[in-house]
């Protein structure tokens, strides 16, 4: 799973093998530490969901950072006049994530 290297790096996970063991195994009996291998398609779905969640969090963080960078210093200071001026005079940058539109068998 090549995504696993990236996931471990981004999460700062030092013991990749222990993390993989947790991902590919499920509880054999609820509340008992015994674990049994899960089905490959379920494991792949779990890894994909984890990657998607990480991408979503990074994307939201990036947009928030970009918004703060284009925000004038006066707006960040809490000055009410500056806020009104910003709302009527400031140009903004919009960002659209269109992932869902590119996920076709044939584009």
Contacts of 72 (CB under 8 A, 6+ apart): 82, 86, 90
Per-residue pLDDT of the chain (107 residues; tens, 9 = 90+): 567 787 788 788 889 888 888 888 887 777 777 788 888 898 889 888 888 888 888 888 887 777 777 776 666 666 677 666 666 666 666 666 666 556 566 55
pLDDT for 37 equals 84
What ranges in 1-107 are assigned the alpha helix state H? 2-11, 16-24, 40-70, 73-77, 80-89
Answer yes or no: pTM beyond 0.75.
Answer: no
Sole residue written with tokens 């984890």: 50
Tokens of 3: 């995504």
pLDDT for 52 equals 87
Sole residue written with tokens 């530490």: 33
pLDDT for 78 equals 67
pLDDT for 19 equals 85
Say if CB 17 and CB 30 are below 8 A apart.
no
Q: What is the DSSP letter of 14?
A: S
- Express each pLDDT in 70-97 by its tens digit: 776 666 666 677 666 666 666 666 666 6
């Amino acid at each position: 799973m090549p995504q696993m290297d990236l996931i471990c790096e981004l999460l700062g996970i030092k013991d990749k093998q222990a993390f993989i063991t947790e991902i590919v195994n499920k509880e054999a009996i609820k509340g008992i530490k015994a674990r049994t291998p899960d089905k490959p398609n379920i494991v792949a779905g779990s890894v994909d969901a984890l990657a998607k969640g990480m991408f979503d969090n990074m994307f939201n963080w990036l947009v928030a950072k970009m918004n703060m960078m284009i925000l004038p210093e006066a707006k960040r200071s809490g000055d009410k006049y500056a806020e009104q001026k910003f709302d009527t005079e400031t140009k903004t940058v919009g960002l659209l994530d269109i992932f869902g539109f590119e996920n076709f068998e044939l584009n």
